[in-house]
A and B are shown apart, each in its own frame.
Chain A
């Protein structure tokens, strides 16, 4: 390799022959891989274009191609120096550029691909003066070779991307972003759809006619207590359904081992079929992301049955029965799922107190006189 790199080229080969070899080598490179492929010296020899494994001839050919912008040398950490080719179209662009600075900048933007590159990175890498860089970028933009772009990862950075490429998913943020803004309405809407789908599939909706059997609705009388007064803990009265008794749960859980809990794939298929995401297609991974969020929110939970990971609604029997929504369009701030549980701390005024840390008996804010207790006790 070193010998080739350091050997002086440009001896007395006749030009037409060189042109033919250049074309042949270039065509072979295209045949053997895409623009990403790196060819080292022996790869190039292996293409069987250069007769008699003539190293210096190869070097001449490559140099010629490089001068035409059709081949770029890259130093690869593993293979040492290697080359890749460019499309003729791109090569034309490079050749049309006025100076090496512009070429250099364009090369960096080109290299960055669909992720784009930050203007500051360009400056650091090229070591160009700000003003020079600016005019170079202007030239390139003017020629329509590059365009600026926005990345959701760095919304405030000025980024450039090669014209004709669309920004990568990393830069656009995938289906969740519209014009590099997180489309929260879209996400919330989809989550509701998924939640309702999981709820429908994972719970048994009780027929509205209420069976009268069972102990749940019955108030325990002193008699009941004495007949089974054997120390069995029973749920405190509050736990007997929101309406304090009578009401039976609207939904029931399925037995253990139920194999029809929807999986992320089934949810994705359902969404695709429903067509609610009209011009965006969601991959299974995208849907999984939404499903995970519902899990984090404690609204659904994974159940693994027969090595199949399905999802079901949490707190099934606490779900309110579905009320057909009259004006379904304007249900603002609707919260998915059952009523969140509470406890003694969040019910007390101190649990929600903005001045909790400052409060002390004898201090300026104190329990004896504070307005939060005043309100809580209904004193005003």
Chain B
């Protein structure tokens, strides 16, 4: 992630918000000065060595730094890692997502992992043991039927219970989190920056496999492949535990269990392997982001197509992303045929979707019912074996094709028996016909489910692709591009109005256009177009290219070509979003400064918790108003993070 000015200012503020001023100050120094040694840091920050060591320890505990110890000089350099620092703002959202998707117990464990940073399993268990014991003591005072640590816990009726009532349960949840990939193993290379790893690996590969140097294009290719393989090996280190669990077959067992009751039921899970207590683990943000992306896409589908259909979509995404470890392929590692098994595109079948669809989802809702003669079954069920073109040039070409109504070049338009599509009688042929032929009978669940899937596939946005008979996949890249454009368009519309957005969309679709042709296409007054274009140029949404028709370069012998660079707009918006987050946080600090006396008061132990009773009326009101403002500002920062996630991470 390249660090821009606003991001470099934002990260220390986020660290300050959570871990206090000392780590924030060190981090800020590192991010502005670049990698530094301890003595350099002492020089830059004027902190004592003790303070520095303490601050660095906090930062390392939370994975906010890279460090590297030179094997010759034995000196260690530290470097700011901006990704996890930024991610601090996302913690709340991840926890909320975990809670809705996996339940409060899993959330509780994740929360502990967030608080502890990287941690040994042993330590985590110890922390839980303390809490469980305390709980038991409290409960023991009032109730008799307590069970002990590691054994059954009485089904909790109305008494307050811990979300994680036993160590066995904790172990079970951890196994589950490791399997999903939400928690990963910390290994020796975790704290090495990608650049260091890359140069280490390249050196090693060069030394061991290419002692005579890399020669020619073929040699270069082989070298790159070898490096990629080594890099992948290192990356796989973080999934050692996951693979061990998978091999032990516990996943299958758990699946059986899931079908019966699910982890949140009070059935005590059995047969989970006890995890190596010395193993160090942490939250895997990459995987969390994959799940957040699913949620965002479900929202997107709900907005565009409908809430009911989005439930089905959620199931499709869940199934597909089981094996998606991260949103973005690594340009170095995930290339060519050799790429990791788990980064290849996946498909799911209609049956798999049916089997996983929560029973509470009513698929009879959400789509209108019409008689089958109003439906063209071959268009609806068309199979598109190839993903839509992603490179802009052919996208433009396809866009033009679409004008002629020929957008589905890829689709096998003819029916399975080669019948022309409009032939209605063909609908009863083949197994495709059965689905629609019986609309008079009560439709069964799988038929109705298919309706949802077809509709998702029919959308211009291609939420899913019918990639083979009864097989479905999601082309994330173009879909996310649509999502980014949608967010950008929201901003454009709010900034320059619907007509401005119209002009941008025209340019996006048609490429460069002469100023003269815009009023006709957009059906707007010429001066209005001119004003709008200038306004949008200032806002950075469009730009103009001047092409002189002759060497005189006079204005009336010059063609003005307007265009919009969508990717540039997106990165500009990302930058502005960081800046806006930064300003929200700066404002928050200012608000705190303003209400300093009140806030100081509420820190007093005799006031804390009973502010309303003990504080003077005026003071309390100021306090309440401040809390309100703080909530609003932090809430806005989270909202902004959603935008960052779309524009940068998904």
CA distance A258 to B99 in the complex (A): 39
A345 touches B306 (CB 8 A): no
Decide: B375 and A259 in contact? CB cutoff 8 A.
yes
Q: Does B26 sit within 8 A of A, measured CB to CB?
A: no
B494: chain A residues within 8 A (beta carbon)? 340, 342, 346, 351-352
Please tell me if the beta carbons of A289 and B523 are within 8 angstroms of each other in the complex: yes
Q: List 17 additional contacts besides A232-B315, A305-B380, A377-B591; criterion CB under 8 Å.
A: A228-B358, A230-B102, A230-B356, A232-B314, A232-B358, A236-B295, A239-B303, A241-B307, A253-B305, A253-B306, A255-B370, A289-B523, A340-B490, A344-B642, A345-B640, A350-B580, A377-B632
Interface residues of A in 152-199 (CB under 8 A from B): 153, 155, 173, 176, 182, 184, 187
A290 located at the interface, meaning its Cβ lies under 8 Å from any Cβ of chain B in the complex: yes
Q: Does B121 contact A (CB under 8 A)?
A: no
Chain B, 342-370, CB within 8 A of any chain A CB: 356, 358-362, 364-370
Q: In the complex the two chains form, is B302's CB within 8 Å of A235's CB? A: yes
* A256, B457: Cβ atoms closer than 8 Å: yes
Q: A231 touching B101 by the CB < 8 A rule?
A: yes
Q: Which residue of B lies closest to A336 (CB)?
A: B498
Given contacts A230-B356, A303-B458, contact A258 B491 (CB under 8 A): no
Query: Which residues of the other chain, A, contact B340 by a CB distance below 8 angstroms?
Result: none
| A133 at the B interface (CB under 8 A) | no
* Complex: A216 Cα to B306 Cα, angstroms: 10
Q: How far is the CA of A361 from the CA of B381 in the complex (A)?
A: 57
Q: Are B490 and A309 in contact (CB under 8 A)?
A: no
Inter-subunit contact B318/A257 (CB<8 Å): no
User: Which chain B residues border A230 with CB–CB below 8 Å?
Assistant: 101-102, 258, 262, 318, 356, 358
Whether the pair A240, B307 counts as a contact (CB closer than 8 A) is: yes
Question: Given contacts A232-B314, A233-B318, A234-B100, are A350 and B306 in contact (CB under 8 A)?
Answer: no
Within 8 A of B (CB), among A302-324: 302-309, 314-318
A256 in contact with B318 given A314-B304, A367-B583 (CB within 8 Å): no
Question: Which residues of B have CB within 8 Å of A361?
Answer: 583, 586
Q: Considering the chains assembled together, what is the distance between the CA atoms of A376 and B489 in angstroms?
A: 23
Separation of A242 and B365 alpha carbons in the complex (Å): 18
Question: Quick one: given A257-B376, A377-B632, are A233 and B317 in contact (CB under 8 Å)?
Answer: yes
- Residue contact B636 to A348, C-beta cutoff 8 Å: yes
Q: A211 contacts which chain B residues (CB < 8 A)?
A: 365
Which residues of chain B in 489-515 are interfacial with respect to chain A, using CB atoms and an 8 Å cutoff?
489-491, 493-495, 498, 501-502, 505-506, 509
Please report which residues of chain B, range 568-593, place their CB below 8 angstroms from some CB of chain A when the two chains form the complex.
573, 576-577, 579-580, 582-584, 586-587, 589-591, 593
Looking at the assembled complex, report how far the CB atom of B417 sits from the nearest CB atom of chain A, in whole angstroms.
Answer: 16
Q: Is A127 an interface residue (CB 8 A)?
A: no
Q: Which residues of B contact A359 (CB under 8 A)?
A: 583
With A228-B358, A304-B408, A343-B491 known as contacts, the answer to whether A290 contacts B523 (CB < 8 A) is yes
- Residues of chain B in range 522-540 having any CB-CB distance to chain A below 8 Å: 522-526
Q: Is the CB of A302 within 8 A of B402?
A: yes
Report B-chain residues with C-beta under 8 Å of the C-beta of A259. Answer: 374-376, 379
Flag whether A369 is at the interface (Cβ < 8 A): yes
Q: How far is A292 from B503 in the complex, measured between Cα atoms in Å?
A: 12
Q: Is the CB of A308 within 8 A of B405?
A: yes
Shortest Cβ distance from residue A63 to the other chain B in the assembled complex, whole angstroms: 40
Main secondary structure of the interface of A (DSSP, over half): loop
Residue of A nearest to B591 (CB): A377
CB of B332 closer than 8 Å to a CB of A: no
Q: A233, A239, A289, A351: which contacts B294 (Cβ < 8 A)?
A: A233
Contact A367 B587 (CB under 8 A): yes
C-alpha spacing A216/B368, complex, angstroms: 16
Q: Is the CB of B262 within 8 A of A234?
A: no
**Residue picked from B297, B302, B516, B573, most chain A C-beta under 10 Å:** B302
**A257 & B263 in contact (Cβ 8 Å cutoff):** no
Could you tell me if B405 and A307 are in contact, using CB atoms closer than 8 angstroms?
yes
Once bound together, how far apart are the Cα atoms of A283 and B408, in whole Å? 28
Whether A255 pairs with B102 at a CB distance below 8 angstroms is no
Q: Which 7 residue pairs spanning A and B have beta carbons closest together?
A: A257-B380, A204-B368, A344-B639, A368-B590, A256-B454, A226-B264, A317-B306
Please tell me if the beta carbons of A297 and B501 are within 8 angstroms of each other in the complex: yes
Residues of B within 8 A of A296 (CB): 502, 505-506, 509, 522
Would you call B102 and A224 a contact (CB within 8 A)?
no
CA distance A317 to B368 in the complex (A): 11
**Quick check: B307 and A216 within 8 Å, CB to CB?**
yes
Most chain-A Cβ atoms within 10 A of its Cβ — which of B97, B298, B362, B379? B379
Q: Which of A349-377 contact B (CB under 8 A)?
A: 350-352, 356, 359, 361, 366-370, 373, 376-377
Chain B, 296-314, CB within 8 A of any chain A CB: 297-299, 302-311, 314
Contacts of A238 in B (CB 8 A): 299
B333 proximal to A (CB < 8 A): no
Closest chain A residue to B466, Cβ basis: A256
Tell me whether B408 and A235 are in contact (CB under 8 A): no
The interface centre, meaning the residue of B101, B317, B408, B589 with most chain A CB atoms within 10 A of its CB, is B101
**CB-nearest residue of chain A relative to B448?**
A255
Cβ contacts B407-442/A at 8 Å (1 or 0 each): 110000100000001100000000000000000000
Q: Does B643 contact A (CB under 8 A)?
A: yes
Contact B306 A343 (CB under 8 A): no
13 example contacts (A-B, Cβ-Cβ < 8 A) are as follows A226-B262, A228-B360, A229-B102, A235-B299, A239-B298, A249-B307, A252-B306, A257-B378, A304-B405, A315-B304, A350-B584, A367-B582, A369-B590
B291 at the interface (CB under 8 A from A): yes
In whole angstroms, how far apart are the Cα atoms of A305 and B413 in the complex?
10
- Asked if B334 is at the interface (CB within 8 A of a chain A CB), the reply is no
CB distance from B622 to the nearest CB of A (A): 11
Check A256 against B576 for contact (C-beta < 8 Å).
no
Cα–Cα distance between A239 and B493 once the two chains are bound (Å) = 21
Residue B649 at the chain A interface, CB threshold 8 Å: no
B306–A260 contact, CB under 8 A? no
Partner of A214 from B104, B264, B365 at Cβ < 8 Å: B365
Counting chain B CB atoms within 10 Å of each CB, which of A153, A155, A290, A361 scores highest?
A: A361
* Chain B residues near A236 (CB-CB < 8 A): 295, 299
**Given A290-B523, A298-B505, A341-B490, A232 and B101 touching (CB < 8 A)?**
yes
B525–A351 touching, CB < 8 Å:
no
